A and B are shown apart, each in its own frame.
Chain A
Amino acid sequence: MDIFIQQIVNGLTIGSIFALVALGYTMVYGVMKLINFAHGDMVALSAYVGLVLYTQFVGSGMPQAFIIILVFLITALIIAAAGVILERLAYRPLRNAPRLSAVVSALGASMLIQNGIMLYWGPNILTFPIGIFPETSWVIFGATITFIQAFMLILTVVLMVSLTMFINFTKYGTAIRASSINQDAAKLMGINVNMVVTIIFIIGAVLGSVGGLFIGIYYRGIEFTLGWNYGLSAFIAAILGGIGNIPGSMVGGYLLGLFTALISGYVSSVWAEAFTYILLIVILIFRPTGILGERVAEKV
């Protein structure tokens, strides 16, 4: 039983990362109907930026907690700026072009960022230093939870609750929801869709940057291909929950984390990845709008 709980904890930890990154995919898809392939690489970029910032600050004599907050904030700012620039240069000119052109542009942006990281930081693995967080851990029902894991879970939940409130109870949130239902109608109602797009890119980038820092701090080794590894999983999470559906991708992230943990723990570590994708295909065939997605009749 304690092993089962441990697997749940494992699943929730990686699930937090999936959920944070998945939100970036889902929000962009919701409004622009575009799979933003470059989002995963933004996450990788944030891990590298975070590492540079942390090594800058760590010797400065500031208290550790303050350094951590600073690193999270500045990384989020830089990645948000990068996200906005990316949208301006690579996606906005293609707003009215055929859908696939934007997909190719996104793939190009992904290659650009990924290989830019490789050229600048080198192809080798870089490591976050140890001792960023205290190495305390607690044993609950026989399962070990470390300080970092607890921090990750709590921060993710806080971010998600705030995002849900923002989407549901503010003016901007209403604008985002309206634009994702029907962009043209939203424009007619006087909503500045360009501004909505900028906002979702900022939110997506900020959440992604937190995910990227989690990867760096928790797993410690970062590599330039990291964006594809996590990006693809997070994207699946977004689809599991119903792409375009914000609560859906939170649920999807945690479900995917739990699913992979339990499959590789109890069924087969060798075939875990294949099982995940078979699940994905089955869900697509029988419920293409995802677990939480609403069944909407296809518009003609």
Chain B
Amino acid sequence: MRKLVILSLAVLISALFAGTAIADTIKIGVQAPITGQYANEGQGIDNAARLLAKQYNAKGGILGKKLEVFTCDDEGQAMKAAICAKELVQKDVIMVIGSYTSCAALAAQKTYFRAGVLQTTDGTSDDLVKEGYWTFFRNSNPNSAAAVFTADYLVNFKDFDRIAVVSDFSSYATGLADSVVAEIKKAGGNVIDYSKIKSKSQNFTPVLTKIKSMNPDAIYFAGYYSDGGLLRAQQKQLGIDAAFVGGDANDNEEFINLAGSAAEGSKIINVPTPDMLAYDSAKKFLAAYEKEYGKKMPSTWALLNADGMYAFLTAI
């Protein structure tokens, strides 16, 4: 049983190693999906936050202190986010940027609130502000606003009569789809079907075929780009002649790659894309991002989060 002793020693030593070295810096946490399904977006947010911190440090930091960025990977999942929240709080960060997905931001909210850590996210779920924590700030439009606009666009602007709504099982997509369905009904539109697909399952033809039989004018998809592109491609392949309108999380270049030739004609409702922004500061930041990382920012979300961080830093 010497093994047990060795094991206990290992535990003890690793515990001792975890000493704390506190330098005189302002610590900023980034909570984002660095790996997993939304890795593309998460890395964009992380890069943007680090870039902004670097820009500040070049100017001498804030209040004479340098900025230090800590990243925690939440994989876009609620449980991992709760762990991340505790970890970041234990590192004594004063603010947290992120996360990309609404559920990850939601799950972390309470921990940050108790510790008095500021949080800013691009999450769009309406539940985010339900609790009314003072530490929480969002930097994008809430789902309900997007839903009102979407419903208005579908029902009044495009005059679609028969709308089929599709979402996946995630909280973001379910929340968005629920509010879009409600708003369409309010606007007098007709939701003929509300189905769910399993994210990543790739085979969406059964659901699409069912929708086909209902002769829709438009298909609204409230999920993420990795499924949206395939959904659009399979819609075309089944010969469903309906307009495709995607929610904001479809706004990613991969959507076009996945949908292929079918991408043409599909519409995605979102706040303006990075290069469409007219503000000078935004353009400058984007150029700096491209120079630093040698690639374009994946989408608006990274910029929105950097924006939230900028607001916090200015406030300090």
Contacts and interface: CB of A to CB of B under 8 A. Distances in A.
A137 interface: yes
Interface stretch (B61-69, B118-126, B254-262): B254-262
B213 interface: yes
A217 B142 CA distance: 38
B92 to A, nearest CB: 30
Contact of A10 (B35, B200, B206, B258): B206
Interface in A252-278: 260-266, 269-270, 272-273
B297 to A, nearest CB: 15
B195 interface: yes
A146 interface: yes
A171 B59 CA distance: 79
A223 B229 CA distance: 14
Contacts of B35: 123
A9 to B, nearest CB: 8
A10 B196 contact: no
Q: Describe B's contact surface by its main secondary structure.
A: helix
A270 B167 CA distance: 10
B203 A123 contact: no
B209 A10 contact: yes
A126 B220 CA distance: 24
A273 B198 contact: yes
Contacts of B36: 123
A264 B202 contact: no
Interface in A57-92: none
A269 B177 CA distance: 15
Interface residues of A, number: 35
Contact of A261 (B196, B200, B201, B205): B205
Contact of B258 (A3, A11, A127): A127
B239 interface: yes
A7 interface: yes
Contact of A260 (B39, B206, B212, B254): B206
A114 interface: no
Contact of B39 (A14, A124, A146, A220): A124
A262 B226 CA distance: 24
Contacts of A125: 226, 254, 258
Contact of A219 (B39, B230, B239): B230
26 contacts: A3-B210, A6-B212, A6-B238, A7-B206, A10-B205, A14-B203, A14-B205, A123-B35, A123-B39, A124-B39, A215-B202, A219-B203, A219-B230, A220-B230, A220-B258, A229-B200, A260-B206, A263-B206, A264-B206, A264-B207, A264-B210, A265-B206, A265-B210, A266-B210, A269-B196, A270-B195
Given A220-B258, A262-B206, 19 more contacts: A3-B209, A3-B210, A6-B209, A7-B206, A13-B205, A14-B203, A124-B40, A124-B254, A130-B260, A135-B261, A146-B237, A221-B226, A223-B200, A261-B205, A261-B206, A264-B210, A265-B210, A269-B196, A269-B206
